[in-house]
Structure 1
Amino acid sequence: MSEFSFVLLYVADAQASGAFYSKLLGRPLVEDHPGFAMLPLREGVMLGLWARDTVEPLAAGTPGSGEIAFSVADADAVAATHADWKARGLAIAQTPTAMNFGTTFVALDPDGHRLRVFART
């Protein structure tokens, strides 16, 4: 079986989304051209940002219907990340909350994709 290596989000503006994720995650873009941008999430896993109106075949679904999750060490790290992202101006869809799997919060990217940060309990 092939290794998982790529997450792709359909976005309104690939360059704006590329700049957003590069700044948020502190990672450089490795591709940036009209309609597409890409950066590493971690070793061997890339995040692609493809302009929704240029995807072939045409993508179904609504804008902002994806979610990327980031695991952190503990509830304190969830709270610290929440404070940092809120200070950066990210829209927060869910403040830090204890759920059955752990502590989590959800922010939104410019297209409304959900960015979940969580620590398992």
Structure 2
Amino acid sequence: MVDELAEEGLDLDLIGKELDAELDPFDLVCHVAFGAKPLTRKERANNVRKRDIFNQHGDKARAVLDALLDKYADEGVLNLDDSNILQINPFSHMVTPIELMRAFGKKADYQQAIHDLQKALYEESA
């Protein structure tokens, strides 16, 4: 969607800078198009942490999910489901990407946890 809007001449990064906020593209579009109150990426990440939805995972898996939330909050990473993200900071200082995925069990378990993380970012807080 972000690419399609850019092709139509709507630069979300430029609009975000004009609003002087670190907004997720979803919040930016909802704010501009519908007047919805936007949440910053940091607010979205903190909402996920408050709900503690990843307590079924072990310590190493939770550390990976927490680092992904930090990366999302700081940089607005949109491709959390791309396993190549495990090859860059801070993950590259932990262990190998394969070992990080194994912390979740199988690769499918890792992918499900990432899907759950992305879903949780956009759920309404209670």
Larger strand share, 1 or 2: 1
Higher relative contact order (CA 8 A, sep 6+): 1
TM-score computed with the length of structure 1 as normaliser: 0.25
Structure having the higher helix fraction is: 2
